[in-house]
Amino acid sequence: MLETGLAFGGDYTPEQWPEEVWAQDIALMRQAGVNLVSLGMFNWALLEPQPGRYTFEWLDRVLDLLHAAGIRVDLGTPSAAPPPWFARLHPGARLVDRAGHALGQGGRQSFCPNSPEYAAASANIADQLGRRYGDHPALSLWHVHNEFAGVNPHCYCDTCAQAFRRWLRAKHGDLAALNAAWGTAFWGQRYGDWAEIEPPRLAPTAVNPAQQLDYLRFSSDTHLANFRRERDVLRGYSPGVPITTNFMIANCKWLDYWKWAAEVDIVANDHYLASEREDRHVELAMCADLTRSLAGGGSWLLMEHSTSAVNWQPRNIAKRPGELARNSMAHVARGADGVLFFQWRASRFGAEKFHSAMLPQAGTGTRIWREVTDLGARLAGLGGLRGTRVAADVAVVWDWEAWWALELEWRPSQDVTFRERVEAYYARLWEAHLTVDFVHPEAGLGRYPLVVVPSLYLTTPATAKNLEAYVTGGGTLLVSYFSGIVDANDTVPGGPYPGALRDLLGVTVEEFLPLRAGERVTLSDGSAADVWAEDVHPAGAETVLSYVDGPAPAGPAVTRNARGRGAAWYVSTRLGGADLARLLERVYADAGLSARPALPATVELVRRPPYVVAINHGTAPAEVRGATVAAGAVLVLRDEP
Ligand code: GAL
């Protein structure tokens, strides 16, 4: 990272251009205020054209040019794009899908993440880079790989099967323990020899869910081991230089980033808008909050986002005037200490030529270029934000394992998904101007007046204990349906649902009552809900709202259980929009969160003391703390209440 100020720049691909363009690039970077570029992530074949033959000279010149211009470098290792010779020499290192097909080359990341040949070759090229550039004065940050598990999250080849067995031995110890954990008495799956265990390959019917969960854990750990290997090689050459890799919080379900975050020196994230969504800026805010939370509330880096359209969505919607600044500043408001784009200059060839860039195909006489240079100038004046911490109001529990488990096959309703509930609650909190920290289910919660648990299907006993301690200590907890259902092995703990949270919530659930597609139920306050209902029985909790119709008429729909010095709310159905917002107002009051800024819901207000950032997503000017924020504009103010 930079020593001072906020970072600004993007992915630089000089390898796609003749050398005479480089000088122009660097002059334009200076004009735009670029102070950090990411370099080299896909250059393996260009740096090692044959095994053991290296051609670093061109990259030396790039680094020297950047250094002479005062531009710092985030230097990538190229292990996400093994060269064609690697696949030819090592056919056994191909990525194999669930159906047993070996996937082809011609793209990137098409390799088996457990391949020993890949491990050796990627460690070697990292070693060569470390040796050559470890003390280069332009080097500011190491960037290992690119988006681990982006397109090869799981491989099902025989090498992976062997590695899986080793991982299982380390985790379970012996086969008896594995058989018990996986519940292999079901469908007669009992294993008598480790060699009988396979990855969860494509099978004619549902594969053991505990086996699948362990495979997902194993795969996340596999990629993490690949990160660590390269990181440790680089560390030896440049002990003081931070090492990171770019997470993809919004689009990657498959890495347990809580574990990953502990292994990087600075958390970095790539974020691309779901460009067709009206509420895309709310999804952006959620991802930025999650990234900051992974960083423990401290500094993080927006490693990639786009100046305008991407090229890989069904319809790639261009950003509207001002959206680039609003997006960038929303990341900064939520803790980013730098804003980088994919990419510096638009490619003329290859799969991403229709992707936007800081320097578009149409050059510098463009709106995008003007907005880029404006942003560079603005960020240069906001160096004081660097290192300041975001003030959050509420915690939302986020857990990758619970996400994986909830969305395996053969659940009561395919309409129940993890992200949907998190986003529904997050959006209401966003509109209420409450800033969210995401927390691991076992994290300390005491400093939050309110904790929201959206569909935490997999709930360990340790999590249940943590939530219990939070509530009895005075916290207000809100739990959404289909939480507390199974343990870490996808096993129901016994007794009525929601096993792990039954006592805390003061309810039992006799039966899940998923609704038909399009079916709606009415609650006693007139709210309409869909997707899910339950046959809830109070066991200590008071009923706040009941079902008026649907499969559980007159039964409790929303409950509140006073417990110790706090309270645990339970919402057994899918509420959204204004109905959910109305319910949440009651919960906010319970949590002492009633006093909030009187602003239109479309104004995003985030405190990074001693600053506050106001982003007006609406179409009318708004008054914020005595200042006017024009429609579509962003203001950074000193945080004087
Ligand atoms: C990212 C990736 C970049 C580029 C970008 C396009 O996921 O890291 O290399 O492909 O997407 O949006």
Q: How do residues 289-298 score in pLDDT, each as one tens digit? A: 999 999 999 9
Q: Going by CA atoms, what residue is nearest to atom 5 of ligand 1?
A: 342
Which ligand 1 atom is at minimum distance from the Cα of 42? 9
d(CA 78, CA 569) in angstroms, rounded, equals: 49
- How many residues make up the chain in this entry? 641
Say if 7-89+116-154+240-385 and 394-591 have the same CATH topology.
no
Mean pLDDT of 223-246: 98
**pLDDT of 215:** 98
Are the C-beta atoms of residues 386 and 431 closer than 8 Å to each other? Answer: no
In this structure, are residues 122 and 226 in contact, taking their beta carbons and an 8 Å threshold? yes
Alpha-carbon gap, residue 48 to 128, rounded angstroms? 10
Amino acid (one-letter) located at 73: V
The predicted structure's pLDDT at residue 250: 76
pLDDT digits (tens, 9 = 90+) for 352-368: 999 999 999 999 999 99
Confidence grade of residue 211 (pLDDT, cut at 50, 70, 90): very high
Q: How confident is the model at residue 212, as a pLDDT? A: 98
Is the CB–ligand 1 distance for residue 304 below 6 Å?
A: yes
* Angle between helix 19-32 and 57-68 (nearest 10): 30
Give residue 570's pLDDT.
98
Strands (E) across 414-458 are located at 436-439, 450-453
Which atom, in ligand 1's list, is nearest to the CA of 312? 12
Q: Is the dihedral of CA 509, 512, 515, 517 positive or negative?
A: positive
Q: 227: Cβ below 6 Å to ligand 1?
A: no
CA of 336 to the centre of ligand 1 (A): 19
Q: Under CATH, domain 394-591 is a member of which superfamily? A: Class I glutamine amidotransferase (GATase) domain (3.40.50.880)
What pLDDT shows up at residue 641?
56
Q: Yes or no: say if 557 and 547 are a contact pair by the CB < 8 Å rule.
A: yes
Q: What is the pLDDT of residue 37?
A: 98
Ligand 1 centroid to 270 CA: how many Å?
8
Q: What is the pLDDT of residue 597?
A: 84
d(CA 421, CA 166): 36
Q: Is the pLDDT of residue 640 over 80?
A: no
In the prediction, which pLDDT does 457 show?
98
pLDDT at 68 over 70: yes
Which residue has the CA at smallest separation from atom 11 of ligand 1?
342
Three-class SS of residue 613?
Answer: strand
Nearest to 319 by CA among 364, 289, 362, 355: 355
CB 272 within 8 A of CB 340: no
Whether 534 lines ligand 1, by a CB cut-off of 6 Å, is no
How confident is the model over 485-500, as a mean pLDDT? 96
pLDDT tier for residue 271 given thresholds of 50, 70 and 90: very high
- The contacts found for 632-637 with CB under 8 angstroms, 24 or more apart, are 632/321, 632/322, 632/326, 633/322, 634/325, 634/326, 634/329, 636/329, 636/382, 636/385, 636/611, 636/612, 637/611, 637/612, 637/613
Q: How far is the CA of 302 from the centre of ligand 1 (A)?
A: 13
Ligand 1 centre to CA of 305 (Å) is: 9
- pLDDT average, residue stretch 467-481: 98
What is the CATH topology of the domain spanning 7-89+116-154+240-385? Answer: TIM Barrel (3.20.20)
For the chain, the 3-state helix, strand and coil shares in percent, each to the nearest 5, are 35, 20, 45
Q: Annotated active-site positions, please?
A: 147, 304
Max Cα distance, the chain (Å) = 76
Out of 44, 147, 307, 356, mutate this one to test ligand 1's pocket (max ligand atoms within 8 Å of CB): namely 147
Average pLDDT, the chain: 97
Question: Torsion angle of alpha carbons 410, 559, 565, 585, nearest 10°?
Answer: 100
Q: Residue 564 in contact with residue 504, Cβ under 8 Å?
A: no
Query: Order of strands, edge to edge, in the sheet holding 611-616?
Result: 603-608, 611-616, 634-638
Q: Is the CB of 108 under 6 A from ligand 1?
A: no
Mean pLDDT of 135-151: 98
Query: pLDDT tens across 76-96, in order?
Result: 999 999 999 999 999 999 999
Q: Which of 15, 303, 342 best tests ligand 1's pocket when mutated (most atoms within 8 Å of CB)? A: 342
What's the CA-to-centroid distance between 82 and ligand 1, angstroms?
Answer: 17
The full set of domain ranges for the chain reads 7-89+116-154+240-385, 394-591, 603-638
Dist. CA 401 → ligand 1 center (Å): 25
Is the pLDDT reported for residue 141 higher than 90? yes
User: In the chain, pLDDT over 70 holds for what percent of residues?
Assistant: 100
Encode pLDDT of 10-60 as tens digits.
999 999 999 999 999 999 999 999 999 999 999 999 999 999 999 999 999
| CA 427 to centroid of ligand 1, rounded, Å | 26
Distance CA 92, CA 87 (A): 8
The per-residue pLDDT for range 541-590, each reduced to its tens digit, is 999 999 999 999 999 999 999 999 999 999 999 999 999 999 999 999 99
Condensed to tens digits (0 to 9), the pLDDT of residues 401-458 reads: 999 999 999 999 999 999 999 999 999 999 999 999 999 999 999 999 999 999 999 9
Mutate to test the pocket of ligand 1, among 352, 354, 356 (most ligand atoms within 8 A of CB): 352
What is the C-alpha separation between 292 and 301, in angstroms, rounded? 9
Q: State if residue 310 touches ligand 1 by the CB under 6 angstroms criterion.
A: yes
- The protein residue with its alpha carbon nearest to ligand 1, atom 10, reads 352
Contact 453, 477 (CB under 8 A): yes
What 3-state class would DSSP assign to 303?
strand
How far, in Å, from the CA of 343 to the mean position of ligand 1? Answer: 9
Strand 300-304's sheet: what is its strand order? 243-244, 139-143, 72-76, 36-39, 7-12, 336-341, 300-304, 267-270, 246-247
Instruction: Assess whether pLDDT exceeds 80 at residue 256.
Output: yes
Q: How far apart are CA 42 and CA 23, in angstroms?
A: 21
pLDDT value, residue 562? 98
What pLDDT shows up at residue 632?
98
Strand 476-480 with 566-571, pairing: parallel
Phi/psi for 576 (5° steps) reads -145, 180
- 3-state DSSP assignment of residue 438: strand
CA 112 – CA 612 distance, rounded (Å): 46
Average pLDDT over residues 486-490: 98
The mean per-residue pLDDT over the stretch 165-171 comes to 98
Q: pTM above the 0.95 mark?
A: yes
DSSP per residue over 336-381, as a string? EEEEEES-SB--SSSTTTTS--SB-TTTTSSHHHHHHHHHHHHHHT
* 271 within ligand 1 shell (Cβ under 6 A): no
Does residue 397 surpass a pLDDT of 80? yes
Name which of 612, 629, 607 is nearest 620 in CA terms. Answer: 629
- Tell whether ligand 1 has an atom less than 6 A from the beta carbon of residue 355: yes
Rounded to whole angstroms, how far apart are CA atoms 237 and 232? 9
| pLDDT for 447 | 97
Q: Is the CB of 102 under 6 A from ligand 1?
A: no
270 close to ligand 1 (CB < 6 Angstrom): yes
